[in-house]
Amino acid sequence: MKALIAALVGAVVALILLPLSQVASFAVNEYLSRPLLRIEFAEVVSEDAPIAIPTDAIREIAKAPIQQILLMRGFASGAQIGEFADQDSANSTGVRRLKSALNELVVDAQRRVRQLTQLQQVLRSPKGDDKQIRAAVQEHFPEMATMVAAMPDVRVLQASVSSRAASDLAALNDGLRLVQQVAATLEQPAVAAPGRMWFKVSIVNRGSSDGLVRNVGELKVAHDTAVVYLRRSGGPPTAAPAVALQSIAVSVVNPTPTEARTTDVGKVEKHSVTELWFEIDESVVPAAHRADLWRATRQSASTASLILFDHENAEISTTVALTSTPHLPGRPK
């Protein structure tokens, strides 16, 4: 009888505890299978603001006789300048290329001026004989070799070549003045305008279920009490196609002003790493603060706390060095 009663009591207790054990088991499974998100790596990628270039003057240089004169002599330094004839602006790398091309053009033009000046000295020298004059003309104007050989009167040759050299010298000096003016304009220090900044964030999920990362974040710069608000971005133009792969579209009905800027939520699949891009939310961060942050990227010692949020609004944070990696886009339009 006692054994029967004990068995009944055990069965009743088991029935009572069964729902509780199922609930506990479910809770434990949920906890163990939750996404475990962590920022594995973060860096700042920047793109300089476009710099205005004197397009009209560059077009004039590209069409000026100085270009044809130098090309005939085998100097190709001016060819790169024509690439900028249809551009109103360029990034810092493009401006450096333009300045380099202008400086090379100046060097080549000055070299040709020296050559023609030496030729004029030979043509005007009373001690110059027929053979010396013909050799000098062939050296500095190889295309005139046939005429040099066929022209019996060296004085006629002197007059013809002197006129050609004087014309080339005038064109070269005019072109040099224009090129040097444009080069001097580009050398003038310009006010550094803030460019665009992106934050490339690699997020690892070590959990057993997919995780979500909200489309907004925060940046807290060291020794600065202000918070810089971030929003999800496509990143630099070359990175946009890869970013769209891990995202979930969000639809908001009757959005508030804050919700109106909602974009795709980042998705981080279980046991994987996903790369997401963020940039400064210009709708809420003042221009002056963006400029301060841009200057901070030029200081190697600057750091900041990068804070993102998961679907439960829990923080996912790391420290990021604000020293930026330059993004080099294609040719600006």
pLDDT at residue 316, rounded to an integer: 92
Is residue 331 a part of any domain in this protein?
no
Number of helices (H), then strands (E), belonging to the chain: the values are: 9, 12
pLDDT at residue 90, rounded to an integer: 81
Is residue 59 a part of any domain in this protein?
yes
170 pLDDT higher than 90: yes
Among 187, 209, 226, which residue terminates a domain? 187
pLDDT at residue 70, rounded to an integer: 83
pLDDT at residue 127, rounded to an integer: 67
Q: What is the pLDDT of residues 117-146, one digit of tens each?
A: 988 888 887 766 778 888 888 888 888 877
Quote the tokens at residue 3: 């054994």
Is residue 13 a part of any domain in this protein?
yes
307 pLDDT higher than 90: yes
- Tell me: do 42 and 58 sit in the same domain: no
- Tell me: do 64 and 181 sit in the same domain: yes
- Closest to 234 in 3D by CA, of 215, 206, 207, 210: 215
**106-120, 251-265, 292-306: range with highest mean pLDDT:** 106-120
- Tell me: do 159 and 240 sit in the same domain: no
- Tell me: do 241 and 319 sit in the same domain: yes
Is residue 332 a part of any domain in this protein?
no
Positive or negative torsion for Cα 296, 297, 299, 303: positive
Is residue 292 a part of any domain in this protein?
yes
- CATH code where residue 297 lies: 2.60.40
The alpha-carbon radius of gyration of the chain (Å, integer) is: 36
Q: How far apart are CA 206 and CA 314, in angstroms?
A: 16
Domain count within the chain: 3
Q: What is the pLDDT of residues 23-80, one digit of tens each?
A: 555 555 555 568 889 998 898 887 777 778 888 888 888 888 888 888 887 777 667 7
- Tell me: do 127 and 113 sit in the same domain: yes
Q: Which residues does 13 contact at the CB level (< 8 Å), separation at least 6?
A: none
- Closest to 324 in 3D by CA, of 303, 304, 298: 298
- Tell me: do 44 and 55 sit in the same domain: no
Q: What is the pLDDT of residues 250-267, one digit of tens each?
A: 444 444 444 444 456 788
pLDDT at residue 75, rounded to an integer: 75
State mean pLDDT over 194-223: 86
Strand partners, 232: 278
State mean pLDDT over 164-183: 91
State mean pLDDT over 326-330: 48
pLDDT at residue 304, rounded to an integer: 85
- Closest to 326 in 3D by CA, of 94, 101, 99, 98: 94
Quote the tokens at residue 36: 């475990």
Is residue 333 a part of any domain in this protein?
no
pLDDT at residue 254, rounded to an integer: 41
Instruction: Residue 17: give the domain boundaries.
Output: 1-30
pTM beyond cutoff 0.85? no
Q: What are phi and psi of 87, to 5 degrees?
A: -115, 135
98 pLDDT higher than 60: yes
pLDDT at residue 86, rounded to an integer: 81
What is the DSSP code (8-state) at residue 323?
P
Chain mean position to CA 169: 41
Among 157, 187, 217, which residue terminates a domain? 187
State mean pLDDT over 189-218: 82
pLDDT at residue 129, rounded to an integer: 75
